[in-house]
Structure 1
Amino acid sequence: MAGTSDKLERRAFLFSLIGVSLVFALMMQPFFAPIFWACAISVIFYPFQKRVLARWPNRRNLVALLTLTLCVVLVIIPVLFVATSFVTEGVGLFQKVQSGEVNLADYVDKIKQAFPGIQALAERFDIDLERIKQQAVQAFTGAGQFLAKRALAVGQNTFQFFLNLALMLYLAFFLLRDGDAMAAMLIRALPLGDEREKLLFAKFAEVTRATIKGNLVVAITQGALGGLIFWWLGIPGAFLWGVVMAVLSLIPAVGAGLIWLPVAVYLYAVGDVISATVLLLYGIFVIGLVDNILRPILVGRDTKLPDYVVLFSTLGGLAMFGITGFALGPLLAALFVAFWGIFIREFNEGEPAAALLEQQSDRSGSE
């Protein structure tokens, strides 16, 4: 009878634990983005924190504050500056489109006139280019309206924005200071087995560093190269288009090409063959090679995910979580692969998680 009572109490406690945890997660849902980015900051800057802490082991508060200050200076302030400039120039361009100073339909018509074969090819496959033109203009106008609304919303919700930023930095400070103790506590609390949990935590840290640092390096490089060639060729709004290419480059394989390729086609259409050829060759062999060379090195190698998985998980993450998804998508994909790797090795081949962890460490060390 006592055994039955103990089982009942244990089950009741577990159900209560799950219920309380779900309610707590729902309560934290509005702060998901600040919490995630605080975790990402602590993971990315942990190696620096560890090196400094080795010199000052009794100054955890000071070291955490120093690390957080470094993050603000190197990452947050530049990102805020670029984002503000991007929104300002984007809204300015949208206002020119609305006033008629910039006519998007004329640009499309010039391309059609310059390449009459496109019209014949479209008629052969029953493609309505006029409708596509209208949809493209509407899409650009809609994007401009969205950007203007978002800029207005940010202006109206400045307090909310800076509150989230402050919450992110506040939590990041404690994660940097007490991260080791928190990770050890989670390993003790989760009922997955210590070796599995260490493997999953190591994978989380590895993929977070790879996706955020790698994608940001690729985005900054492609955006800077794209803005530079636009400025050199005298294309208006070089800074704006550079930032757009940087943002789009978060989408592997196709990102920045969505900007420079149509511009090259337009330059051919208006007869500026030299500039168009320079932009096309530069886009393929400079901007494109950055994606083809740097991304596999910085992202694919460290996440140990195939390029196509990185692509689809990035797109899925962006669709589901917004801008945070460029990091969260590949992270979930890597955890998915890690869970199934543990399952296959332990339940099908009988290889313990410890052996898998050792293999992962050896592989990381060899690279």
Structure 2
Amino acid sequence: MQEKLERRSFIFTLLLVTVAFVLLLQPFFTAIFWACAVALIFHPLYRYLLHRFPKWPNLTALLTLLLCLIVVVIPVLLVASSFVSEAVDLYQRVQSGEINLGAKVEQVRAAFPGINAALERFGLDFDGIKERLLGGLMTAGSLIAKNALALGQNTLNFFVSLGLMLYLTFFLIRDGNALVALLIRALPLGDEREKLLLAKFAEVTRATIKGNLVVAVTQGALGGMIFWALGLPAPLLWGVVMTVLSLLPAVGAAIIWFPAALYLYSTGEAVKATVLMIFGVLVISLVDNILRPILVGRDTKLPDYIVLFSTVGGLIMFGISGFAIGPLLAALFMAFWEIFMREFISRDEPLLPPGDQSPLDDLSKPGGSTQTSGD
């Protein structure tokens, strides 16, 4: 009895201390997540270098981290800085009246008079859509401007978080295998389940960041380049916006370049509009079909509707990091349920009624009655 009480007391105290430690690390969750993600992506490079220089694990991990800094971190910081600068400049020009968004929208409506009729067929009002669109753009611009000011005031905090992320990344790259083995030993879920879940975590993290992000950055870069080549304003800004939208299935970069092509048609720039339309259809839109199977692989891809909802939900809950955290949580959710169905549902119990392909098939029949076929 005494031993049982002591065991329960220890487990309760262990959970209490663990929760307290997690709350202590809460301000650094984003830095910890990205350290784990970067370590996962660059760990194959570390293994390759370690195979060449097996006596210098510290130097090899440091070299891997330096390559990560040059290839990923510095370019992202430069692009983010230029994006914020262009966004703030564009917002100030709109707010001062130098750029009249309402007049440009009216110019498009005048060039395409069939828009009103098409919208009325669906019960939509062009003026109402225009007001909501302009209001949304102004709100987004104001939000970016305020965040840029806040970022400038909290530059020290940002670089502290970046430094902590890089510091942790070094140890995760060097000691990743030992830490995974320790985690498998400590968690009470069963070694095989833990290995499956950790493999799913690594698989989806690599697929989301290495695959989806590379595809999105490629599409955004191509969109920004064609905007720059055609002399359109703020090409870097719209390139970054296309990158973000390319992360969302069924949305994509077309939501930017297609209206831009319509605007060029409305202003009489038919050649530029045609070039943008052809480039968007034949180059930007086809990047996804070419690169994604190579970088991600068809077996690791989540259903598009799961990716869409989990990405949007992740962006709402976790900010910009949500594009990776959302699909990761969705993948872990599906992995847990896959383990549950495989191990806890009786294999002898049929998933569907005998003789039926799906209960939904019978619901679509007249009368909605369930019919079963006899043997």
Task: Report if the CA contact (8 A) 1:300-1:307 is conserved.
Answer: no
Per the TM alignment, residue 231 of structure 1 is displaced from its structure 2 partner at its CA by: 2.2
SS at match of 2:331: helix
CA distance in 2, matches of 1:124, 1:179: 59
Deviation of 1:184 (Å): 0.9
Alignment equivalent of 1:66, drawn from 60, 63, 73: 63
Contact 1:251 1:314 in 2 (8 A): yes
User: Is 2:75 the counterpart of 1:78?
Assistant: yes
From 325, 331, 335, the equivalent of 1:334 is: 331
Aligned to 2:49: 52
1:45 and 1:67 in contact (8 A); partners too: yes
How many Å apart are 1:128 and its aligned residue?
A: 2.9
Match of 1:20 in 2: 17
Distance (whole Å) between structure 2 residues aligned to residue 296 and residue 187 of structure 1: 31
Aligned residue number for residue 306 of structure 2? 309
CA displacement at 1:82 relative to structure 2: 0.5
The Cα shift of 1:140 comes to 1.1
Change (3 A) 1:300 1:325: farther
CA change 1:170–1:325 in 2 (3 A) is same
Instruction: For 2:306 and 2:215, locate their aligned partners in 1 and report how far apart those are by CA, in whole Å.
Output: 18
- CA separation of 1:256/1:125 partners in 2, compared to 1, >3 Å: closer, same or farther? closer
1:123 & 1:350 partners in 2: Cα distance? Answer: 55
* Segment drifting more, 28-37 vs 340-349: 340-349
Cα distance change, pair 211–126 in 1 and its aligned pair in 2 (3 A): closer
CA shift at 1:125, angstroms?
4.7
CA spacing shift, 1:6–1:205, aligned 2, 3 Å: same
In structure 2, what is the equivalent of residue 295 of structure 1? Answer: 292
Equivalent of residue 132 in structure 1, options 129, 132, 136: 129
Provide the C-alpha distance between the structure 2 equivalents of 1:240 and 1:278, rounded to a whole number of angstroms.
20
Contact 1:253 1:291 in 2 (8 A): no
**Does the residue aligned with 1:57 lie in a helix, a strand or coil?**
coil
Change (3 A) 1:200 1:262: same
Instruction: Indicate the structure with greater helix content.
Output: 1
| Structure 1 counterpart of 2:150 | 153
The count of residues paired between Structure 1 and Structure 2 equals: 348
* Residue in structure 2 matched with residue 96 of structure 1 by the alignment: 93
Match of 2:269 among 269, 272, 279: 272
Counterpart of 1:235?
Answer: 232
Once the 2 structures are TM-superposed, how far is the Cα of residue 323 of structure 1 from its aligned partner?
Answer: 1.0
Q: Cα distance 1:317–1:299, how it changes in 2: closer, same or farther (>3 A)?
A: farther
Q: Does structure 1 residue 36 correspond to structure 2 residue 37?
A: no
**Paired residues of 2:91 and 2:142 also in contact (CA < 8 A):** yes
> Aligned with 1:72: secondary structure?
helix
Q: Distance in 1 between matches of 2:296 and 2:328?
A: 11
The alpha-carbon deviation at position 165 of structure 1 amounts to: 0.3
Secondary structure, aligned partner of 1:205: helix
Q: What is the match of residue 282 of structure 1?
A: 279
The two structures have a TM-score, normalised by structure 2, of 0.88
- The gaps in structure 2 that reach 5 residues or longer are 349-375
Aligned to 2:316: 319
Name the CA distance, whole Å, in 2 between partners of 1:218 and 1:200: 26
Is the 8 Å Cα contact of residues 248 and 307 (structure 2) preserved in structure 1?
no
**For residues 122 and 203 of structure 2, what CA distance do their matches in structure 1 show?**
48
Question: Counterpart in 2 of 1:347?
Answer: 344
1:202 maps onto 2:199 in alignment:
yes
Q: Deviations over 1:330-362 (max 9, x none)?
A: 1111112221222222223669xxxxxxxxxxx
Measured after TM superposition, the shift of residue 164 of structure 1 is: 0.3
Corresponding letter in the other structure for 1:180? N
Contact in 1 for aligned 2:219/2:242 (Cα 8 Å): yes
Letter in 1 for 2:328: L
Q: Is the 8 A contact 2:116 2:125 kept in 1?
A: no
TM-score using structure 1 length = 0.89
Name stretches of at least 5 consecutive residues in structure 1 with no aligned partner.
352-367
Equivalent of 2:179 in 177, 182, 185: 182
Percent identity, aligned pairs only? 65
Check whether the contact 1:300–1:306 (CA below 8 A) recurs between aligned residues.
Answer: no
1:170 counterpart = 2:201: no
Instruction: Map Cα deviations across residues 302-346 of structure 1 (whole Å, 9 max, x no partner).
Output: 534223222222222112211111111111111122212222222
Distance 1:174 1:22 in 2: 23
The aligned residue for residue 249 of structure 1 is 246
The amino acid that maps onto 2:281 is I
Q: 1:93-124: CA deviations, max 9, x gaps?
A: 11111121111001111111112222234445
In 2 relative to 1, CA 124–344 (structure 1 residues): closer, same or farther, beyond 3 Å?
Answer: closer
Larger mean Cα displacement after TM superposition, 122-131 or 309-318? 122-131
Asked whether the equivalents of residues 216 and 243 of structure 2 are also in contact (C-alpha less than 8 Å), the reply is: yes
Q: What CA distance in whole angstroms lies between the structure 1 residues aligned with 2:233 and 2:244? A: 19
